[in-house]
Chain A
Amino acid sequence: MSAYWRLSASRAAALSGLLAAAAACSGSLPRLPGRTLYVRKCSACHTLHLPAAYPAERWPAIMEAMKGEAKLTEEEARDIERYVLTAAAQ
């Protein structure tokens, strides 16, 4: 391997390590039914909000407002709401 690639690879490894360390210090969303739908439908339009970011009583109003924006069916909106409320309670 040339010095060129060694230099670039070591820098990339160091910087990737920084991100990996950051990731290790953080949680990710709980793997519960509805997670895939929540990530796929909501993150396409905006940065995801963690389920615990809002009090449980606010989520129904948020879902009501967002289901039209995201073109969610009633069933999808219900599944996502159930997911965020269950995940927030964990």
Chain B
Amino acid sequence: MKKMNRSAVCRVLGLLTLAMALGPTPSAQANERRFAYAYESGVMAPGSRELEYWSTWRGGRAEFYSRFDHRLELELGLTDRLLTALYLNWRSVSRNDPANPDTTVTEQEFTGISSEWKYKLTDPVADPVGAALYQEYTLASDEFEWESKLILDKKLGGTLLAYNLVVEPEWKFGPANSEYELWVENVLGVTQFLTPRFAAGLELRNPNLKTRDSTGLQHSALFLGPTLSYSSKDWWVAAAFLKQLPAPKRSLANRQDSLVLDEHEKTNVRILAAFRF
């Protein structure tokens, strides 16, 4: 980058930082996300509504692979402890054509609807640890997923810590037979509020897969990367860029590779954006 360009970029970044720092003091919303993967214990006020859009890009397997998972979520606060949400899910996958490896094929697919229920037990500021229980059911034409989460979080001054234990059995129904998979995932996030609106931190994911056929784990993968979030009175955004690290347990399908590239990718990027109305 030329010197003049770098200086202009620095000036713009400086002005943006100043604008964020001097902006009106926000009343941070309870349900804004400060992480793209980890959930926090907050819920929404009764009667509050939010429209949330998710986009996750997953790229890089042993061969060319590029996938976008999209979700549109309508969230509603039911009581001061309980919220519910409804999702529409769809995805687009591009990969090498098995019949002609020099070309790629792209498939788009509606991947079902989901129903989310979250119940807040304790508060991350008022109590020693914030906690919530989370249930999500996803129904597609050939698949049923049941996701349960234990959500723990704690706000310490300008630092927010969050940990999720996720357990998710999946049933896939084929014309001839059915498949069963069990995912157990640890998600840890830590972020620092640089201004009342803007936070930057790190997220760590550790998804583990057990299949019906495997006696132990099929694999245990590890992802780490930065996360950024910004919130305003009526909207918020959160994003994370995660790279896969050498796996704690390599895939049984490919023990040579230190990364798990049969079910996961080298890079995951997720962006969430939400509007309250």
Cβ–Cβ < 8 Å partners of A22 in chain B:
154, 156, 161
Instruction: Tell me if A89 counts as interface (CB < 8 A to partner B).
Output: no
Cβ–Cβ < 8 Å partners of A48 in chain B:
123, 125-126
Instruction: Tell me if B252 counts as interface (CB < 8 A to partner A).
Output: no
Cβ–Cβ < 8 Å partners of B152 in chain A:
16, 19
Partner of B220, one of A7, A20, A25, A49: A7
Cβ–Cβ < 8 Å partners of A26 in chain B:
128, 154, 156
Instruction: Tell me if A39 counts as interface (CB < 8 A to partner B).
Output: yes
Partner of B186, one of A2, A15, A43: A15
Within 133-164 of B, Cβ neighbours of A (below 8 Å) are at 152-156, 161, 163
Q: Interface code A48-88, partner B: CB below 8 Å = 1, 0 otherwise?
A: 11100000000000000000001000000000000000000
Cβ–Cβ < 8 Å partners of B29 in chain A:
45-47
Instruction: Tell me if B44 counts as interface (CB < 8 A to partner A).
Output: yes
Q: Is the CB of A12 within 8 A of B165?
A: yes
Q: Are A43 and B161 CB-contacts (below 8 A) given A22-B156, A25-B156?
A: no
Instruction: Tell me if B49 counts as interface (CB < 8 A to partner A).
Output: no
Residue of B nearest to A22 (CB): B154
A49 to B163, CA, bound (A): 22
Residue of B nearest to A69 (CB): B27
Q: Is the CB of B123 within 8 A of A45?
A: no
Cβ–Cβ < 8 Å partners of A25 in chain B:
156
A35 to B152, CA, bound (A): 21
Within 94-139 of B, Cβ neighbours of A (below 8 Å) are at 123-129
Q: Is the CB of A11 within 8 A of B217?
A: no
Q: Interface code B167-202, partner A: CB below 8 Å = 1, 0 otherwise?
A: 000000000000000001010100000000000000
Cβ–Cβ < 8 Å partners of A18 in chain B:
161, 163, 188
Cβ–Cβ < 8 Å partners of B206 in chain A:
11
Give the secondary structure class of A's interface. helix
Instruction: Tell me if B45 counts as interface (CB < 8 A to partner A).
Output: yes
Cβ–Cβ < 8 Å partners of A28 in chain B:
125-128
A2 to B29, CA, bound (A): 42
Q: Is the CB of A15 within 8 A of B30?
A: no
Partner of A12, one of B42, B154, B186: B186
Cβ–Cβ < 8 Å partners of A49 in chain B:
125
Instruction: Tell me if B46 counts as interface (CB < 8 A to partner A).
Output: yes
Q: Interface code A9-35, partner B: CB below 8 Å = 1, 0 otherwise?
A: 001100110111011111011000001
Q: Is the CB of B126 within 8 A of A39?
A: yes
Residue of B nearest to A25 (CB): B156
Q: Are A46 and B126 CB-contacts (below 8 A) given A4-B217, A19-B161, A23-B154?
A: no
Q: Are A19 and B30 CB-contacts (below 8 A) given A35-B126, A43-B123?
A: no
- B residues sitting closer than 8 Å to A (CB atoms) are 27-30, 42-46, 48, 77, 80, 123-129, 152-156, 161, 163, 165, 184, 186, 188, 206, 208, 210, 215-217, 220, 248-249
- Other than A7-B217, A45-B29, A45-B48, give 4 A-B pairs with Cβ distance below 8 A: A11-B206, A28-B128, A45-B44, A47-B42
19 residue pairs from A and B, CB less than 8 Å apart? A3-B216, A4-B217, A7-B248, A7-B249, A8-B186, A11-B186, A12-B165, A12-B186, A16-B152, A22-B154, A26-B156, A28-B128, A39-B126, A41-B80, A44-B77, A44-B80, A45-B29, A45-B44, A48-B123
